[in-house]
Amino acid sequence: MFHSARACLFVNGFREKSHFAVARFLEDFYVKKDLLENEWIELLDHYRETRHGDQYSTSFIATEDEAESALNSAKKFVERIKKLLEF
């Protein structure tokens, strides 16, 4: 999800400084112009926060259902970004 979102920055001549900045760019550059639905930003933020918990917490454990849901969400996100960028 993150790398497909980064593609949106790259095609517009930008680079991100943080994971957080990618979502904010998508909001400003695409959502505010009604080119992308806000639900995709919320999804990206949700998994960014989940990833942060996984990376920096010793108590984070994802269930198989959560992992499967994340994979399905990621596939949908990538497809939406492809459509947005018309790849």
Give the model confidence (pLDDT) of 44-67 as tens digits. 999 998 888 777 777 778 889 999
Q: Which CATH architecture has domain 2-85?
A: Up-down Bundle (1.20)
Collect the ranges in the chain with pLDDT lower than 50. none
Q: Give Cα 15 to chain centroid, integer Å.
A: 15
The pLDDT value recorded for residue 7 is 97
Amino acid at site 35 = L
Model-level pTM greater than 0.75? yes
pLDDT at site 74: 97
Minimal CA–CA distance to 82: which of 36, 25, 50, 41?
A: 36
Q: Where are the domains of the chain?
A: 2-85
Q: pLDDT at position 85, please?
A: 96
What pLDDT sits at residue 53? 73
Q: Sign of the C-alpha dihedral, residues 47, 51, 52, 54?
A: positive
Q: What is the pLDDT of residue 87?
A: 64
